[in-house]
Structure 1
Amino acid sequence: MSNPIDSKELAFSITARTVILLGRENISSPTVAVLELVKNAYDADATKVTVRFRNASNPNGTIEIIDNGHGMNWEDITTKWMVIGTNNKLISPISPNGRRKVGEKGIGRFALDRLASETILETTSEEQSTEPTYRLGINWDRFSESTKDLHEIKHLVEILERRNRRPGTRLRLKKLRDTWTKQDYERLYQNLIVLIPPFEKKLVGFSINLDCDEAPELSGNIRNPLIEAALFKMKCDLDESGNVKINITTRENTTDGKFKLFAKHDKKWNELFDSPEIPSCGPLHFEFYFYLRESITVQGLDIKLRQLKDYLDVYGGVRIYRDGFRIKPYGDPRGKGDWLGLNWRRVKHPGGAGSDEKWVVGENQVAAGVFVSNETNPELKDQTNREGLISNRAYNDLRAFVLKCIEYFETDRQDYERRKKSEIEPVTVDQSISDVKQKLSRELNKLEEAIDLQPHGPEKDFLKESLQQMRDVQSTSLNKVQSLYETEQESTMSKMQLLQNAATIGIAVAALGHEVLQSGRHVIDSIERLSKRLGNLMLINDEKINEYLSRLNRHGIILYSVASFALGHIDRDKRTRQEFNVDDCIQKLIDENLKAICATNNAQLDFIRGNVPHIYAFPYEIESIVTNFVTNSIAAFQRGRTRMAERQIEIETVYNEKQRSLQIVARDNGPGIAEDDKDRIFDIYSTKVDEEGKPYGTGLGLVIVKDIVENYKGSIAVHEHSSKETMRGAEFIVTFPVPKERGPKKGDEND
């Protein structure tokens, strides 16, 4: 290696177009962009944020995000908002008012570019500040049109008199990039509910007001339905005389989903704690909501399991509120936030509710609040640094009361689950994991007791450290298993729901298909009669009329073909295993249905017959395979913007007599399949998304094809580009074994 004759240093430069990559090309949808802006308002300690849409179905419409958070001063604007990649949220993950920040690090400002071409930001810092109000205008299209480096593009900041302006930030977005529809507003609403805290009626927390002129039924303060997803509710009261009332309700095993009484306790303070003294904390109100982080929890509700988990990640734990305001750090996700030691109790007692060991709740399974006031709870005093309450007798009484109420719930539920278990003893994955946790915990506890008996010294310290490592590995491994199981369970539930919907559609097709088919015939016949009628009239030949008639006729044929295919696909004969010729089956499917569907998408469909032998199978399954391949090719044409004159699809059958195998080959001249996508296209819900982030199809097509092929002990291969020179797109090869002897089998009718 030769020695250098000189050396220089280089640094990366960032072009203005980087903003586009981080904004409109990185954020998947306008819904995600609005959510990020609302999260930023939450991180700014706002108690209220308004999301206002005006005529947003039109590019000339506007979107406004208005909050009453702490706003920004000049230093905040110059060192945080205008700096890309700032580590502010890494350094300060908790807001000044004790909130865990939920916004993505640095993504908020680029969400503005995803939504609109122009942004006007107006911000006023907190009330004690003497700084003026700042107004910043940004034209995001300047970044895509410029060849300059990022730092060379300047933006005008106007300085306004503060006057009586309240703290907060207003974002006004103009020249919208998306056309908002009713479905978009509904999707945004469903995502916003996760950001609403529990007990919103009782506290000064965080409210979101949706103000939409095109969806007035969604407008107003957003309420959080996730409280209703709780499996159990518990309300507990302690009065001035030391009387305790505990009321537990549940919606488990209720047909209407409404909460019913589960357990009730009326006690005296001295019964609970064997103390003759009245509690010094004063009267308390405690509300407790318990959730199972499983798919069954959200069955029958208009929310998803992922929404529930996100909600618990933000609002889980037990918090304390005084006169409607939260006292920090109680309920924070780390450190002193778990002031009741729920996580430590869960580590010591990892068993399930139906197990023989003691069961306790985990912090990530509950959303709860203790409500006090300055007037009725004067002995609950703040620490001088405002970081929580002084640990005096009043605080200890409060903590003891809350823990005792939770213990009553745990005992009541465990007694109930044990009674259930004694009647029916099903073995579930959850129970198996719970049993393993119990057994490992017992053995590790025994080991810990044995180590404690050893004399002090380096060896004992080493054993204790090793034991802790074993506990950590055990906890991490079992949590991974639990997480994988929950993910699989959620996927299975989603697949089942989709199949139920598909079954419903099938029933509807069977009931209404003949009427649609008849309507398709009438449309075609009426167009033909209209053409003749117009031709007989002494009118000047109008090319536009002829064009419209031709278009109506083509779509009438499509309507007829789709109805014919749907009815034919659910025909009972096709759902009976039988001997038939694959070439004839595919040819009939193409002639009667697929050619018309391809024609309306300007695609040419060719079939190369391979003189294949008869097989013994379900005809509808062969049709499903071919139909999925053809519709996937059409979607690829649209997604890849393949020119209409070049859209070609080819289906070919091949028989290998020596290997006794039959192949169905599908290829096209679309954009092909990326190498990275080949391994995941057969995964459930694996599908591409359009420019708005919406998925093409259900993501189940190739999953169904793979299931069919594997049921026949066949195989499926995919090539990112076809081996045929005239076809540059994707190629799928399905291979079926052809048995030497074929005949009916038991259970050959598939209803």
Structure 2
Amino acid sequence: MLEDPTAHERRRRLARHHLRFAPKILTRLGEELVPHPDMGIMELVRNAYDADATECSIELVDSARTGGSIIVSDNGHGMTDAELTSDFLLIGSSRKPSSPFTRSGRRRVGEKGLGRLAALRLGRRVKVTTRSAATPGVQYTLGIDWDELDSAHAVEDVALELRDVPPYARVGTRIEIHDLRQGLSIADVERLTRSLTLLTGPFQTESTFKILWNHTAFGYEDLTSTVTDEHLQWAEFHLSGRLGADGSQSAELRDHQGNLIGTATARDLRSAVAGGRRPTTATGGERLFTSAPAAKFDLWMFNLNPRHSVALRDSVQPTPEIKSWLADVGGVHLYHHGLRVQPYGDPDDDWLSINVRRAVLSEFRPYTNNSVGALVVNDPEDRLQPKTDRSGFVQNAAFGELREFARSAIEWASQRRRQIREAERQEQRKRAKAQTADAEADFTEAKKALEEQLADNQGRLDGNFDRASVQRILTTSQLLADQRLREIKDLQSELLLYRALATVGTSTSVFAHEAQQPADRILQEARTVDRRVRRDIDPATVDDRYKPSLSAIMDGARTLQIFAKLPLELLVRKKRDLTYVDIDEVCLATLRLFHNFLSDRCIHVTHDLDGRNLRVRTYEAAVESIVSNLLVNSVHALTRTDGGLERRIHLATRSFVDKDAPWIRLTVDDSGPGIQDASTEEIWVPGFTTRDGGTGLGLTIVRDTVGDMSGRQQAIRNGPLGGARLLVELPASTTSAPAAGNTNDEGEE
């Protein structure tokens, strides 16, 4: 007999089951997923924000010990019994996708409830008291005993009792976490304090959401002082930037008085973060961000040297207070939907890598201990996706573009600050030279007048000598001494730089000397292998299978020989003797030294040296440094990804007369991309570089060396070969020197 299909279907339905969860899953989702208790507590604060609360109060009761309590209460709209069941007790649920805005129009910031679960699990017992604005005549209480839940076979086996009681509390919600499993450490409280302090400030306008706490329990007499922005007035620079919803970018930098220093376009910002390189076609200079939400970026940068404040403002800044304030709030913080997102800007989270970049180069870059900033994001489409553990955002394209925007703005501001300081330094050097010359002239004149009086009085100073002359020589000598001290002070920073470079040079010479012998040995052994293989194997087979590898080994060994020889040649002792240097001879010698290096890079070099045997009173090493750095600069330009297919360098010298005095001009042209996305003055500034890993010091050394010779330098964006043209002009002399070879020629290297 056939079975009744209806009965069969009934048995199938009776066999259905549901997924059940062991209590251990609560530990996995709560305590282990959210690593720090402050992050869980902050999630309760966010829930209060989503409930349209204007105030949220946090109380710590004996929280430093096991068994203490944490109480979080708010004056939001509270919860009905249905909302308690469908929202609060449903882990992993969120109203955000279906209802992104609260009743008052706030953008919801709460997520899946895992942070809330982590906070509730801090204690063994939880009591929730809530009174809804929708049902003000009733108040609900809910108790959770975690020990009972943890001992159950499954979570759903333990019923949670919801009681309605006559209302005695205000509309809102109060969550009491009792019998803490572990007391909050000092680090936990400090993290929580910082998170609460920065949740809505100190950078934002007046907030409609206020946090209250019992200061004594937090270990502070008053934390409200850290929330204010009164210390921002002492910032030396203020950087502000905007990222538009359409992907457009801009930035501006102002000084302590609010004066505009400079503005940047999207092209300027991208050029800055690329170290001055011209953006490639794939990442065009005006490329708009397509994924990032709109944002506003502000960064205040401080100088914590008290003497600097006196010189800048003629007033003493409260440096200890500013340092303490920056220790609490320093760093760049990210605000999303009006609230700060952790961990961005935390002491151990340098998410923009500003400390790393400052350590690599430039005291003009800010770091987290001398700057404070906020990146305020307007993200109505929720392009930024929070991580499950609430520790920031998923590293998607939107977040990557947002971070790139902030980094590029900081880098651009650092370059502008460096340019300003370098211009000031150059102006100071000019003034110092002029003042020194004036002081020397006054001293010489006063000394001459006194000597004449001494001669008239037969070497004696009697009652008839001119006291004014003596006073004048004393005054001018003091002025001269003071001016020399200023020059020495101005040169101290340069001295540190050149000491560092000297250390690099010394180390390089040691390594070069030690590398010569292995390079020679490799070349010798490769030739031996080639010779022996040809004896044992058919030469045609050798050429086909082994010759390419052997040739590559020998080419590499020759290159190693070049690199070993180059620093040793540059550091020869006699090149540091003061003499009359023939510029043409040094140019030819340097080209010979660089010949293999340039040939390996397929760079064709021509020269036209016509210095007319003029010489410069200086050190050969100084002229060699100028020529070498100019050549290396051209090599970098030619070997960049956006360099031309034809790699050419042309070196030329010419003599000319300026104000009846002989001069010599050195010109270096190349066929690279030229000077782009930077001014022709900016390329000489210390730290400016067009390549990753560059020091930005090569052309600065040229500029300073030329300045020491009372010469001048110039850059032209595009010369005859299409690339940059760099010129150096030096005062020369016709003083005879040892005979030189014929340098009045045209030739090729």
Please say whether Structure 1 and Structure 2 have the same fold, judged by a TM-score greater than 0.5.
no
Higher relative contact order (CA 8 A, sep 6+): 2
